[in-house]
Amino acid sequence: MGITSRLATFALETSFSGIPVPVVERSKEMMLNAAGIGLAGVREPEGPIITEFVRERGGTPTCTILGADFKSTPENAALANGTLVHALDFDENVERRSNHPSNVMFPTVMSIGEHVGASGRDVVAAFAIGCEVSTKLGAAGDLDEQFPRLATYGFTAQAVTGTFGATAAAARLLGLSQEQLENAFGLACSQASGLLVNHGTSSKPIQAGTSAMKGILCATLAQQGMTGARDGIEAERGFLDAFRRDRHIDEDEFIGRLGNPYDVIDPGIRLKIYPCGSYTHVSLEAMLRLIDEHDIQADDVRAIEVAVPQRWGMTGAAIPHPQTGIEAKFSMAFVMAVALVHGPPQIQHFTNETVRDPRLVELLDLVTVVTTEKPTPTATRPSTVTITLADGRVVSHRAEFAKGHRDNPATAADMEAKFEACSREVLPADRVRPTIEQFRSLDTLADVRPLFSSLGGPSDG
């Protein structure tokens, strides 16, 4: 027995009834969110590219592509749907884990769930377990730290350990044995990848799609007899050795904390309300508060200082003059400019056209990012925004939690409005409300195929 084996046991033997109700409800909300932003991703530049790539590869048409008028294999569908879900960078983030698990897990359970005709209970359980495997493994040895070391080495957590979560989720739905999943995890050790250097490019969303695809590949091949190192996670020159640079993980402590509690409950997730990089959201809360309280107009502003913790300073200041819509999502200056001109940022504010809007461009050089904020154990990303106005006034506000954080929660109405806005141009209007209701009651569905098929294009009716 070792971490690989015991992780497989957790993944396979945790029953739906053994998953706490709050985790089930949060998982359904995360899947509703993922479906909506995936439908919105159809309209992003990456949407038609990945969709046509998959269409050209053909394959047995069993699995729906979000917003598309054709179906494909589970692996191809997961590749496309993962890319679509993460194209807008509008998915959730797990606190203290630097991980967005649903952009890998939803495409995985959607594809395999539809492929095998799974029940909603089985899909919800696979999703919850997959997320927990991904986030816990990504922070192994650092579960009580603010930032896991995986990210400090340049790795994108949900792409690296998402492969293991997707393998676990697919294994549950495919009915793998203990031995088969251990082999699948061994295969996953050689498939895990993803680098932070690609943030701001199309590679970031593609990483979500490839992680889901590779998880399905590992589970399917292991079921058919392919082998991998059955101690691949903890072994010398294995996963932890390579990705953590050490193997000093307390096995019993790590395994004891699987599902105890689930990460989506504690430390909890942030469900994004704004379609831009996570590290801009607390600053946005401060900025929007100042605009509202002082009735600030763009022409009134002479300087904007955004104070963030050291960790986010270089990131937020890295793209002061974005040239593309995808770069704009990760530019603190651009996000602050959007808030001044348009109010709360929306999907349409991050396009290749809007980055050239003179009203926004002229504000970019007014924004300065400084690293004077100090994170606390509960508020890991506090931000103070200070605005100097033309009349000489200086106004400032400090925010600790973004909208969607468990201490500043998004409501069910917020998330339903987000789904409606994201799906508006893809799903027929009369399909939107029934889709929301089906996700809300997903664990009662006998067969997920009608729901997932309804997320496709016109021919899926």
Q: Express each pLDDT in 2-27 by its tens digit.
A: 999 999 999 999 999 999 999 999 99
Which of 74-88, 111-125, 145-159, 384-398 is least confident? 145-159
DSSP count for the chain of H helices, then E strands? 21, 8
Q: Residue 338: helix, strand or coil by DSSP?
A: helix
Question: Do 155 and 292 belong to one domain?
Answer: no
For residues 90-107, give the mean pLDDT: 94
Question: Do 99 and 222 belong to one domain?
Answer: yes
The answer to whether residue 414 sits within a structural domain is no
Task: Answer whether residue 461 shows pLDDT above 60.
Answer: no
Compute the mean pLDDT over every residue in the chain, rounded to the nearest whole number: 94
The answer to whether residue 85 sits within a structural domain is yes
pTM assigned to the model = 0.91
Task: Classify residue 274 by its DSSP letter.
Answer: S
The two structure tokens encoding residue 448:
């997920």
The answer to whether residue 412 sits within a structural domain is no
Maximum C-alpha span of the chain? 73
Question: Do 426 and 456 belong to one domain?
Answer: yes
Full domain range(s) for residue 456: 3-273+422-460
Q: Residue 73: helix, strand or coil by DSSP?
A: coil
Considering its fold, how many domains does the chain have in total? 2
Question: Do 255 and 109 belong to one domain?
Answer: yes
405 bridge partner residues? 408
Question: Do 111 and 150 belong to one domain?
Answer: yes
Alpha carbon distance 145, 151 (integer Å): 12
Element (H, E) at 122: helix 120-138
Place of tokens 């792409």: 159
Alpha carbon distance 42, 40 (integer Å): 5
The two structure tokens encoding residue 381:
């990303």
Q: Is the dihedral of CA 243, 155, 316, 27 positive or negative?
A: negative
Question: Do 169 and 27 belong to one domain?
Answer: yes
The two structure tokens encoding residue 311:
């960790």
Alpha carbon distance 435, 391 (integer Å): 51
- DSSP calls for 159-196: HHTHHHHHHHHHHHHHT--HHHHHHHHHHHHTT---BG
Predicted local distance difference test score (pLDDT) of residue 315: 67
The answer to whether residue 164 sits within a structural domain is yes
User: Pseudo-torsion of CA 101, 54, 41, 409, nearest 10°?
Assistant: -20
State the CATH number of the domain containing residue 382.
Answer: 3.30.1330.120
Predicted local distance difference test score (pLDDT) of residue 459: 47
The answer to whether residue 258 sits within a structural domain is yes
Element (H, E) at 259: none
Alpha carbon distances (Å) from 322 to 43, 90, 335, 362, 365: 20, 18, 11, 13, 12
Q: Which amino acid is residue 131, in one-letter code?
A: C
For residues 350-359, give the mean pLDDT: 95
Alpha carbon distances (Å) from 75 to 99, 194, 195: 22, 18, 22
Cβ atoms of residues 67 and 457 within 8 Å: yes
Cβ atoms of residues 51 and 68 within 8 Å: yes
Question: Do 25 and 161 belong to one domain?
Answer: yes
Pairing of strands 269-270, 301-309: unpaired
The answer to whether residue 409 sits within a structural domain is no
Q: Residue 369: helix, strand or coil by DSSP?
A: strand
Up-side HSE of residue 4: CA atoms within 13 Å toward CB? Answer: 24
Cβ atoms of residues 39 and 25 within 8 Å: no
Question: Do 39 and 185 belong to one domain?
Answer: yes
State the CATH number of the domain containing residue 242.
Answer: 1.10.4100.10
Question: What is the C-alpha R_g of the chain?
Answer: 22
Tens digit of each residue's pLDDT (9 = 90 or more) over 250-285: 999 999 999 999 999 999 999 999 998 888 999 999
The answer to whether residue 404 sits within a structural domain is no
Question: Do 256 and 169 belong to one domain?
Answer: yes
The two structure tokens encoding residue 304:
């904007």
Question: Do 256 and 286 belong to one domain?
Answer: no
Question: Do 250 and 290 belong to one domain?
Answer: no
Predicted local distance difference test score (pLDDT) of residue 326: 84
Predicted local distance difference test score (pLDDT) of residue 313: 61
Predicted local distance difference test score (pLDDT) of residue 298: 97
Predicted local distance difference test score (pLDDT) of residue 314: 64
Predicted local distance difference test score (pLDDT) of residue 316: 64
Question: Do 157 and 217 belong to one domain?
Answer: yes
The answer to whether residue 406 sits within a structural domain is no
Assign 460 a pLDDT band (cuts: 50, 70, 90).
Answer: very low
